[in-house]
């Protein structure tokens, strides 16, 4: 029953989770409000905030799990991809702890961890939730990545489709910025979209071959659309915000799900998951569940707290790597780019 302490610091969340035998005992996240005023994450400020946050976050995760440092069997950390300064804080902290406690170190790929968030045991209304069976497909949609991953086992997975330009989260955030909404705009588009008419405005669906995605065309179409309407009506965005958000969300969701559907048909795989920050989007969740019902596919969505960046997903990946004896040395280096 290994007890694993996991650290996630790839972007602007400092997070720590304790997991025992694949069960999450604690999941603590410190967000960084410092970036809001700049309209995006400032890498240097993120690194500094991680340095301030990491000790209290780890401390809180241990206390809330009721576990002492001496009971930890291994330290897992996010190795890649992400902001290099941010990754280095987590990696160095993890290495120091592993050296001081003389316990193994486990290097985790952030995108693999997003996928495995679907394997974290969870409960809804007191009932254990089902998890996908292998092989399954996962649509991983975050601020930096958009991928369809074919997952054969916890440690054997590969992307079979990905974005050729912006990620889905970026498409949400950049659209929000054009609407004058603060960063990160994805959740705000979601909020306004709930009150809007998704059919009111139409944005183009790109025709990209295979299982790859593109969002830059939609972004440009939204820019021209807003420019054109605001030129004749300065209150256009204000007066139509909910409908604009609902229409943007509908198009981003349809781009994502049409490709995911194609991947499911092509592979014949019937267990489908979504993961990553954008999987918190209510429009995507609803349409994804509906697609599963219509096609008789099994659909899985991690609980909200395991969708956006968190350390529980690093812990569960660390757990599977521990079982496989897949440990890292102290020379393991963090990397901004994340080859699989
Ligand atoms: O996975 P994540 O927390 O961090 C990365 O690894 O990038 O994803 C963050 C992204 C941001 O672009 C954020 O705007 C988006 O997820 N996001 C949402 C929602 N919640 C988070 N986008 C649309 N609707 C949401 N409810
Ligand atoms: Zn992420």
**For the domain 131-301, what is the CATH code?**
3.30.420.40
Model pLDDT, residue 339:
77
CA distances, 190 to each of 15, 30, 169, 301 (Å): 24, 23, 12, 17
Protein fold of 3-122+306-324: Nucleotidyltransferase; domain 5 (3.30.420)
In a mutational test of the pocket of ligand 1, which residue from 108, 278, 280, 284 has the highest number of ligand atoms less than 8 Å from its CB? 278
Q: Which atom of ligand 1 is nearest to the CA of 184?
A: 14
DSSP 8-state secondary structure symbol assigned to residue 296:
T
Split at pLDDT 50, 70, 90, the class of 41 is confident
Q: Above 80 in pLDDT, residue 340?
A: no
Q: Above 80 in pLDDT, residue 73?
A: yes
Range 256-285 average pLDDT: 97
Q: How far is the CA of 12 from the centre of ligand 1 (A)?
A: 12
161 touches ligand 1 (CB under 6 Å): no
- Kindly state the helix (H) or strand (E) to which residue 151 belongs, with its residue range: strand 146-153
Beta bridge partners of 150: 137, 158
Q: Determine if the peptide bond prior to 81 is cis (ω within 30°).
A: yes
Among protein residues, the one with the nearest Cα to ligand 1's atom 2 is 277
Range 260-266 average pLDDT: 98
Q: Above 80 in pLDDT, residue 262?
A: yes
- CA 302/CA 93 separation, integer angstroms: 28
The 10s digit of each residue's pLDDT in 98-119 is: 999 999 999 999 999 999 999 9
Helical axes 236-267 vs 186-193, angle rounded to 10°? 100
Q: How would DSSP label each residue in 8-66? A: E-SSSEEEEEEEETTEEEEEEEEE-GGGGGGTS--HHHHHHHHHHHHHHHHHHHHHHHT
In a mutational test of the pocket of ligand 1, which residue from 149, 170, 172 has the highest number of ligand atoms less than 8 Å from its CB? 172
Q: What is the pTM of this model?
A: 0.94
- CA 314/CA 299 separation, integer angstroms: 22
CA distances, 43 to each of 34, 38, 70, 87, 220 (Å): 11, 11, 33, 11, 26
Model pLDDT, residue 243:
98
Q: Which atom of ligand 1 is nearest to the CA of 170?
A: 12
- CA 7/CA 50 separation, integer angstroms: 11
118 touches ligand 1 (CB under 6 Å): no
- CA 60/CA 139 separation, integer angstroms: 32
281 touches ligand 1 (CB under 6 Å): yes
Which two three-digit tokens encode residue 252? 């981003």
Percent with pLDDT over 90 in the chain: 92
Q: How far is the CA of 239 from the centre of ligand 2 (A)?
A: 33
Model pLDDT, residue 36:
81
- Kindly state the helix (H) or strand (E) to which residue 273 belongs, with its residue range: strand 271-275
Sign of CA dihedral 53, 59, 63, 66: positive
Range 167-191 average pLDDT: 95
The domain ranges of the chain are 3-122+306-324, 131-301
157 touches ligand 1 (CB under 6 Å): no
Stretch among 3-12, 46-55, 291-300, 331-340 having the lowest mean pLDDT? 331-340
Model pLDDT, residue 39:
80
Cβ-contact 120, 129 below 8 angstroms: no
């Amino acid at each position: 029953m290994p007890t694993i302490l996991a650290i996630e610091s790839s972007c602007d969340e400092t997070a720590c989770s304790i997991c025992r035998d694949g069960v999450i005992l604690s999941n603590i996240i410190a967000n960084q409000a410092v970036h809001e005023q700049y309209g995006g994450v400032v890498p240097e400020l993120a690194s500094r905030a991680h340095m301030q946050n990491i000790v209290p976050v780890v401390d809180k995760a241990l206390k809330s799990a009721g576990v002492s440092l001496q009971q930890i069997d291994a330290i897992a950390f996010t190795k890649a991809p992400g902001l290099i300064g941010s990754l280095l804080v987590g990696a160095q902290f993890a290495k120091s702890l592993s050296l001081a406690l003389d316990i193994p170190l486990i290097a985790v790929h952030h995108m693999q961890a997003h996928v495995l968030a679907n394997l974290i045991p969870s409960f809804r209304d007191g009932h254990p939730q089902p998890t996908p069976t292998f092989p399954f497909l996962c649509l991983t949609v975050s601020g930096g990545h958009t991928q369809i991953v074919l997952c054969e086992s916890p440690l054997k997975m590969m992307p079979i489709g990905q974005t050729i330009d912006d990620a889905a989260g970026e498409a949400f955030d950049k659209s929000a910025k054009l609407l004058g909404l603060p960063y990160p705009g994805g959740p705000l588009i979601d909020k306004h979209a709930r009150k809007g008419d998704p059919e009111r405005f139409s944005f183009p669906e790109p025709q990209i071959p295979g299982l790859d995605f593109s969002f830059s065309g939609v972004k440009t179409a939204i820019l021209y659309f807003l420019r054109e309407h605001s030129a004749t009506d300065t209150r256009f965005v204000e007066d139509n915000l909910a409908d604009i958000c609902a229409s943007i969300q509908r198009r981003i969701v349809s781009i994502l799900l049409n490709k995911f559907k194609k991947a499911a048909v092509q592979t014949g795989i019937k267990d489908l998951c979504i993961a990553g920050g954008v999987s918190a989007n209510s429009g995507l969740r609803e349409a994804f569940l509906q697609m599963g019902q219509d096609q008789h596919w099994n659909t899985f969505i991690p609980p909200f707290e395991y969708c956006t960046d968190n350390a529980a997903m690093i812990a569960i990946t660390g757990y599977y790597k521990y079982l496989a004896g897949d440990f890292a040395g102290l020379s393991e280096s963090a990397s901004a780019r994340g080859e699989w």
